Amino acid sequence: MSEKRLIVIGAGGHAHACIDVIEEQGIYRIVGLVGVPEEIDTDHLGYRVTAIDSDLPQLAKSSQYAIIAVGHIHSPALRIRLYQRAIDLGFHLPTIVAPTAYVSRHAVIGAGTIVMHGATVNAGAKVGNNCIINTCAVVEHDVTVADHCHISTGAILNGDAKVGSGSFVGSGSVVKEGVSIGSECIIGMGLAVRHNQADTTRFTGSRKS
């Protein structure tokens, strides 16, 4: 079987967590990290930053796979830009699932999405492309998560909830069953979301919004 060479785009804290999951999954061989110029030659869990964004066309000639490993809290813009660039250059963006996660065979997970350790994606759930389903997050039955979302550590999306494109759900927050969160929303950490949230809402609790 030919080697599956994978480029990790990003070299911060989220990239470290992604590296661990990719290693544990054991399907892809990480052949390099792409960072910002100040990160060149820095070491991350035994992998070196050898390239910056402008080197991606060259890297695409020798590596078929890439994963976007920069984080997303305030804005999905950087992850979206890098994802689109990687696609345009012909990289294949695989779905990465930690062996410690549970993904139902009745769930669908998109390209470039990573499901981190201990997360659950239950039956009938649909998760789009370029999402982060972070450590121990729960995406319950029949939930829809659109492209470019980050469901943070320990967040819970209860049955039939919906999350629109580019939205962030903070660590430990709980979304009531059937509730819809619009696109490009920021839901702070540790909150209960009981009502629908319009596009671009920044929800930090208290009011119904």
Contact set with ligand COA (CB under 6 A)? 73, 134, 152-153, 170-171, 186, 188-191, 204-205
Q: Which two tokens stand for residue 204?
A: 């930090």
Minimum distance, C-beta of residue 170 to ligand COA, in the bound complex (Å)? 3
N-term to C-term CA, the chain: 53
Residue closer to ligand COA by CB (options 134, 201) is 134
Q: How far is CA 80 from CA 85, 113, 151, in A?
A: 9, 12, 16
In the complex, minimum distance from the CB of residue 71 to ligand COA, in angstroms, rounded to a whole number: 7
Rounded-to-integer distance, Cα 30 and Cα 45, Å: 11
Closest to ligand COA by CB, 59 vs 151, is 151
Phi-psi region of 200 (alpha: psi -120 to 50; beta: other; left: phi over 0): left
Mapping DSSP onto H, E and C, the string for 41-91 reads CCEECCEEEEECHHHHHHHHHHCCEEEECCCCCCCCHHHHHHHHHHHHCCC
Closest distance between ligand COA and the C-beta of residue 163, in Å?
14
Rounded-to-integer distance, Cα 62 and Cα 87, Å: 15
Looking at the Cβ atoms of 57 and 190, the one nearer to ligand COA is 190
- Minimum CB distance to ligand COA, residue 120 (Å): 16
Given the complex with ligand COA, which of 59 and 97 has the nearer CB atom? 97
Could you tell me the smallest distance in angstroms from the CB atom of residue 174 to ligand COA?
A: 12
Of 59 and 114, which CB lies nearer to ligand COA in the complex structure?
Answer: 114
> Which strand (E) or helix (H) includes residue 143?
none
- Closest CB to ligand COA: residue number: 188
